[in-house]
Every structure is written in C-alpha cells, then in structure tokens.
Structure 1
C-alpha cells in the first residue's frame, strides 16, 4: 500500500470530500454491494437491492466524512440506528462467519 501523506489527504478532502460529504476507497474485491449485503438490510434502508447490482463495494476502515447536517441525518444516523437494530445489522438468515463466494452470478 502506498504511503499516505498529509498533503494527499488535504487534497482529497478539498477536491472530493467537500463536494459530496463522503469519500471512500474501493474494496480490494471487485464484488458489488448487492453480493455481500443481506436483502433484509436493503429493506431496512427502504431501498431496492437492484439499485446496487453493479455498484462496487467501498472500504469502511478509512472514510472521510464532512461534518454537515446532511451527513449527520442521512448517513451517520441511519448507520447508527442500523447497528442498534438486530433486523438490520444481523437479520435472520445472515452469516456472521464470512461470505460465500461460490454462488453465481456474483452480483446477487
């Protein structure tokens, strides 16, 4: 992995994070969000898994989040609420021991 400098982070913040409120890096695996997310989680967020069939997953261990009301209410609050709700964070049928990559097609 490449060494990250303060100047690089500052540039990314100014050029990208400020515009959208969130900046994330792609996950090493090329799996789409739909392949590693339980269908009940999509229901919890009132979304359709079809919208995520070809959206590449991003890493959650390093994020840049801009401190705005929109990020508070539309990103962080739903994430925290999900983490405190068993039907969202660990719905019936979800696996806690890792994902099965042998199912085809990979986007489902």
Structure 2
C-alpha cells in the first residue's frame, strides 16, 4: 500500500461541508426537540400551552407544526394512550429532523453553486 493509495482512499470518504452542516442542523433539531419534550412533560415549564401534555403540544403546535399537519391522519389526537403518544411525537420529531436537514442541505448546495 502506497501513500497515494491511502490518500486516494481518504479522499473518497470525505463529506461535503454542506452535508456536515445539514447533519448538524438535523441533529440539533432532534436534540432540542427531545429536550423540549422531556422538560414539557416532566415539569411545569410548558403548562401554559397544555396542562397535561405541554411538551407534546409544544412540539405539535410550534416546533414541528408543518410535519405534524402532514402526519396528522397517521398520528391522530394527543389524548391517547401514553406510550402511543410518545411514539407518535418521536415519529414527528424524527420526520421533522430529516426534513429540516434535507431542506438545509439543498439550500446550502444552492448557495455553494451560486457563489463558488
């Protein structure tokens, strides 16, 4: 194995700056949404939104409203079984993170193409 073959192999595994930034945006959204969900469900921080399920209402109404509207037929109402509610809100958070990461990747690729 020569140094050039190692360098060539290393270059093939590099990710673009746009992909790394988009992944960072998606991961940040995922972490922030889960923190908001946990804090809203276990504390009284989001009780003004909904007295019982402030974290879930915050995710559905404010943070991930577009994706929730798309998945509303599948997800259903918030007032359901406890484990079903958590699975449904995690589904919305995951779908939103993927969507936001993809949209940010497309925007960053467009900016990179326009301003090389």
TM-score range, shorter chain: under 0.3
Relative to its length, the structure with more helix (as a share) is: 2
Q: Which has the higher contact order (CA 8 A, sep 6+)?
A: 1
How does the TM-score come out when normalised to structure 1? 0.21
Larger radius of gyration: 2
